[in-house]
């Protein structure tokens, strides 16, 4: 797995829908980038399709076993993430964004610098993404899954638990 070391945290940000009037609201921008109805099978299929675009993963048996539904605090909208795994470790992750009430689209794919342990199977609250630009630039740790975007768990009392276990009142 050392083949990931020189890559740095790489994020491929795909353009959103509506590139022009003529192209329509859900024209594909990349393989797997078209809009689709949000089902577990569709999320996994699109995540694996996006992983196929990374030449660094050509000889790696990548799997996607689960879809994590959460909330994007910066966009004030639902989001879905699909961890991409190989040999029991996370090697990448795909994030999906809503386009309409019934359609979603691939928003970003990150290939991780080094394989990381899998995300918890039970978060004990709502999985949330938030912009954390200063702390996520060049951060190859588990707390930053995407370029400039970190994750936390929103607890029932409105506070947040960070990946390292720290409880905070608000996210920066």
Residues above pLDDT 70, as percent of the chain: 80
The DSSP line for 19-77 is SSTTT-TT--SSTT-S-B---HHHHHHHHHHHHTT-GGGTTS--B----EEEEETTTTE
Please give the pLDDT value at position 128: 97
> pLDDT higher for 120 or 11?
120
Q: How many domains does the chain have?
A: 1
Range from 2-16, 84-98, 131-145 carrying the lowest mean pLDDT? 2-16
Average pLDDT score over the chain: 81
pLDDT given for residue 7 in this prediction: 32
> Of 7-11, 45-49, 136-140, 166-170, where does mean pLDDT reach its minimum?
7-11
Its domain, for residue 154, covers 2-168
Mean pLDDT for 134-154 is 85
Q: Is 3 helix (H, G, I), strand (E, B) or coil?
A: helix
């Amino acid at each position: 797995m050392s083949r990931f070391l020189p890559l740095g945290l790489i994020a491929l940000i795909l353009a959103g829908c509506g590139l022009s009037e003529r192209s329509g609201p859900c024209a594909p921008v990349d393989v797997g980038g078209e809009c689709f109805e949000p089902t577990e099978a569709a999320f996994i299929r699109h995540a694996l399709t996006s992983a196929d675009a990374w030449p660094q993963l050509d000889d790696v048996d990548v799997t996607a076993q689960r879809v994590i539904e959460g909330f994007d605090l910066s966009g004030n909208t639902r989001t879905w993430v699909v961890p991409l795994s190989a040999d029991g470790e996370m090697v990448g992750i795909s994030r999906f964004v809503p386009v309409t009430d019934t359609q979603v689209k691939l928003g970003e794919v990150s290939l991780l610098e080094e394989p990381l342990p899998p995300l918890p199977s039970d978060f004990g609250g709502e999985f949330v993404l938030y912009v954390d630009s200063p702390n996520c630039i060049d951060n190859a740790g588990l707390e930053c899954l995407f370029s400039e975007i970190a994750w936390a768990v929103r607890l029932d009392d409105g506070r947040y638990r960070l990946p390292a276990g720290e409880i905070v009142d608000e996210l920066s």
